Structure 1
Amino acid sequence: MQAASQRTIAAPGAPLPSRRERHSTVAAASRNATEAAHPAAGSLDRRTFLSAAAAVAVTAAWQAPALAIQGLVAGRIPGVSGPDDEGNMTYTRPEGKSGGHGVGWSEIQRYSFKVPQSWQEVPVSIADLGGTEIDLRYNSADEGTLQVVVAPVLRFKDVGINSNITVEDLAPPENLIAGFAPELFGVPLNEGDVLDMQVVQKDGLPYYIYELTRHRLVTATATGNRLYMLAVRCNSLQWRKSGDKITKIRDSFRVPPKVDA
């Protein structure tokens, strides 16, 4: 696995903005058309957070395979393989999985991450209270919880339907985490919540890596016209026992870059 350059960005001194999460159900039959023509209500707030970011030139060419298929199967489809030498399973998003989006979505890359064997997938659906952008949940009573959010960038940034963007095209790290913290954790981001932010390259894609207070870890990247975020959290006791496992989950998250046709 490639992990090229890495730079640390100081947390902003001013209070970060907050956003109220929407909990609307979106009809699935014509989902892609709806994303472009009728953005969800919460997208207006996201534009406030993210429109301040200066656009960065889109990476010209991708080297990895696309591996992007979104089928018509709702509910939970197992996607784990392994374990490896450290006892971790590898979760790879199955072809045909719909997550909490309903059917009809397209161009969802087959992201992957490492997860301990004791963790269990928690089924999500279009009725999930976390919103229709929740793609996956995992849980361990002893070690913590994680979720993956897949968000169409058309809901909060004006780009072409067939755009191929990176996370740096959307917003700087501090704006992105401020815009999505309510969705990921149920509360706005407060001043001082960001302990560390980094930008790391994996397979030609930039990733934003965050450590927040209260043992909340996040990674985010974007390719095609989707933003992908993995958030994992635990309590203080779990962190003392399994903090290294929580960190490995976050750092193992990878999304195959979309290859333009």
Structure 2
Amino acid sequence: MGTILYSSCSFSWRYHQQIVPSNNLLAHSALENGISRAKVAACSGESGLVVEEVEKGSGFMNRRSVLVSGTSLISSAILGSAREGLAVVKQGLLAGRIPGLSEPDEQGWRTYRRPDEKSGGHGVGWSPIIPYAFSVPQDWEEVPVSIADLGGTEIDLRFASSKEGRIFVIVAPVLRFADGLGENAKIELIGPPEKVIDAFGPEVIGENVEGKVISMNVAEHSGRTYYQYELEPPHALITATAAGNRLYLFNVTASGLQWKRHYSDLKRISDSFRVV
């Protein structure tokens, strides 16, 4: 006879190239054929689990560590079947990032629209985030956002392509930068393009933008004004606008080689940003 105790800790494993949160297992089985066995499954990043077994018998102790697949351990030890495992994965996707990408068009580009159901940015006294949209080539994918990132909790979204570059979207309260803008702020009321990039550029690149802005443009779409900037170095395209009581900063950045090879795609991505 034995007893099983379960505890949990957090680890990540990959399913269809997305990080999906799941649970780990700590199991203790007492007194089996005169031998006390303890198995501990500890988190081991994204690569799987390390299972450590300690056997105590007549005056000896043996420790074994085995690297096993996180998928198989979850399916057999916790979930009991592959079908239940897939159900938990689907729940994880729904509970975390909600996909917002369309199918590719005839040119292989997809449109991301921030889902209405996506959580975040609903602080006390602030209206819900107005959805935004942009287009990317089909090899770009959404990646997890960390509160330790540059921009902290105000980074609402990240995208990346190993071939072309990176994207992130900052959504910040306008009251951090200007008073009396009301509940329907306009970028023009915050200031002209020069003032806005001086104030918000460091939010994006992490340093003063003086001497780095090589172009500034003003565009209007559906009655909303967008300020567009190109910085170098670092290689960055920034689009700024305001909606509701928030400022939106859309940043497309790349390495020197990516910038040289894929500038036209990066510029098209930057120009496609809209608050909808």
- Mark yes or no: TM-score above 0.5: yes
Q: Aligned equivalents of 2:95 and 2:189: distance in 1?
A: 31
CA distance in 1, matches of 2:95, 2:147: 9
Secondary structure in 1 aligned to 2:153? coil
Structure 2 unaligned runs (5+)? 1-93
1:175 aligns with 2:222: no
- Which segment drifts farther, 122-131 or 197-206? 122-131
Aligned counterpart in structure 1 of residue 217 of structure 2, from 176, 198, 201: 198
- Which protein is richer in strand relative to its size? 2
Specify the alignment match of 1:137 in structure 2.
Answer: 158
TM-score by length of 2: 0.61
| Correspondent of 1:150 among 140, 154, 171 | 171
Q: How has the CA–CA distance of structure 1 residues 212 and 155 changed in structure 2, closer, same or farther, with 3 Å as cutoff?
A: same
The residue type equivalent to 2:188 in the other structure is E
Distance 1:98 1:188 in 2: 31
Measured after TM superposition, the shift of residue 126 of structure 1 is 4.5
CA contact (8 A) 2:202 2:208 kept: yes
Residues 1:252 and 2:260 aligned together? no
Q: Is the 8 A contact 1:119 1:138 kept in 2?
A: yes
3-state SS in 2 of match to 1:190: coil
Distance 2:149 2:218 in 1: 31
State the partner residue of 2:97: 76
**Which structure carries more relative contact order (alpha carbon 8 Å, separation 6+)?**
1
Q: Do the aligned partners of 1:74 and 1:102 also contact (CA within 8 Å) in 2? A: no
Distance 1:75 1:174 in 2: 37
Asked if the contact 1:74/1:103 (under 8 Å) is kept, the reply is no
Structure 1 alignment gaps of length 5 or more: 1-72, 257-261
Aligned to 1:232: 252
Q: Which has the larger radius of gyration?
A: 2
**What's the offset of the Cα at 1:107?**
2.6
Distance 1:114 1:239, change over 3 A: same
Instruction: Spell out, residue by residue over 1:158-215, the C-alpha distance to the aligned partner (whole angstroms, 9 max, x if none).
Output: 126x521210010111111122222211222122x11110111101011101111132
Q: How many residues align?
A: 181
User: Whole-Å Cα distance in 1 between the matches of residues 190 and 123 of structure 2?
Assistant: 26
Superposed displacement of residue 249, structure 1: 0.5
| Equivalent residue, structure 1, for 2:111 | 90
| 2:143 alignment partner in structure 1 | 122
Runs of 4+ in 1 over 2 A off after TM superposition: 101-107, 125-130
CA contact (8 A) 1:75 1:123 kept: no
Q: Distance in 1 between matches of 2:265 and 2:96?
A: 27
Q: 1:188 aligns with which of 205, 208, 215?
A: 208
CA distance in 1, matches of 2:215, 2:242: 20
Would you say the 8 A contact 1:74–1:125 is kept in 2? no
> Quick one: percent identity of the two aligned structures?
52
Output the TM-score relative to the length of structure 1. 0.64
Mapped partners of 1:179, 1:236: distance in 2 = 25
8 Å Cα contact 1:139/1:146 also seen in 2: yes
